[in-house]
Amino acid sequence: MPPVIADEKNIARAAALLKQGRLVAFPTETVYGLGADASNPEAIKRIFEAKGRPSDHPLIVHIPHADHLANWARNIPDDAKRLTAKFWPGPLALILNKKPEVPMEVTGGQQTVAIRMPNHPVALRLLNAFGGGVAAPSANRYCRISPTQAQHVEDELGDAVDLILDGGACQVGVESTIVDFSTDKPVLLRPGQISQQTIEAFLQVELMTHRPDSSVRAPGMMAVHYAPMTLTLLCKAGDLDQIVLDNIKHHKSVGVIAYKQRINTQAAIQIITMPQQADAYAQQIYAALRELDRLNLDIILVEQPPVSDAWSAINDRLAKATRPGLI
């Protein structure tokens, strides 16, 4: 189903569909979400069917205002509240202890729930028109690259979704930062644009980066995720030229996502040169991977960008989308 422009009429239609238990894809500032009424277990089941995602993997509930937090979570620590006051609406999801009435279908059977208030005018207008919580994973098929444009959603999910609202390209481009406040100490479960150092400096608290118990299901944390169909290697800048040449020699069609290196071969079938700034790079990386994946090349080579706090979300996603490119 082709995306429709996210005007007032279509947003009202989308809210009505959500109330009927249908699926609506909508833009957020991070990636497009595949939304359903978070209080309706039948609607939630449709999300898992459409994505081909195992039903024990929990979803994020999107809310129109921080005031709604108390409808979904209980025992909310002060630090969690401080983060919402500072960073919401924004690319930050919190894991909190769930209220008993939150359906188990949303939380994958766990006693905790993920919640965020997105910072996108279309998402907020939709959430306000709907008036409740919308459970929304990224609107891609299970383990594939998240969509950052409405067209990507149609390419991924086709008619499995009842309406796709087109709000243009997502500004952030990688999924939200997730901080788990359900145990004693906060844990960074997924890095995002709001970085570990930013949160630690604001809270004056160190974040753990792994949960002590590893039973928590978080598909974004699995080794293979966000992956193109094409074999994709992550190469050190200094190795890139050589790896390109080796592949050309073996008659392979090659795509390159370059950061800095101006590779000296013209033979690479496709070269996408990425921005030097982390935010701009993040905004474009999924679209770049998708573009090269569509060409059915033999191999995609991604040049390793810088490794620092500002690049941690990008490096996390690249590590999951690729295998190491060894010489």
Q: List residues near ligand TXA by CB under 6 A.
A: 28, 30-31, 33, 57-60, 91, 93, 95, 107, 110, 112-114, 118, 136-138, 175-176, 178, 189, 216-220
State the nearest-atom distance from the C-beta of 253 to ligand TXA, in Å.
31
Other CB atoms within a 10 A radius of the CB of residue 277 amount to: 10
Q: Of these partners, ligand TXA, Mg ion, none, which one is at the site of residue 73 (CB under 5 to 8 Å by kind)?
A: none
Rg from Cα positions in the chain:
20
Select from 97, 119, 138, 261 the one that contacts Mg ion (CB under 5 A).
138
Name the segment binding Mg ion (CB under 5 A); options: 20-28, 136-144, 185-193, 290-298: 136-144
List Cβ neighbours of 108 (8 Å cut-off, separation of 6 or more).
55, 56, 57, 58, 59, 217
CB of 313 within 8 A of CB of 194?
Answer: no
Residue closer to ligand TXA (CB basis): 165 or 258: 165
Closest CA to 174 of 272, 61, 308, 278: 278
Is 112 among the residues that bind Mg ion (CB under 5 A)? Answer: no
Read off φ and ψ for residue 258, nearest 5 degrees: -95, 145
Q: Of these partners, Mg ion, ligand TXA, none, which one is at the site of residue 287 (CB under 5 to 8 Å by kind)?
A: none
Name the segment binding Mg ion (CB under 5 A); options: 107-115, 134-142, 272-280, 294-302: 134-142
For residue 238, the 8-state DSSP code is H
Residue closer to ligand TXA (CB basis): 117 or 292: 117
Other CB atoms within a 10 A radius of the CB of residue 161 amount to: 25
Closest CA to 135 of 214, 57, 224: 57
State the nearest-atom distance from the C-beta of 137 to Mg ion, in Å.
5
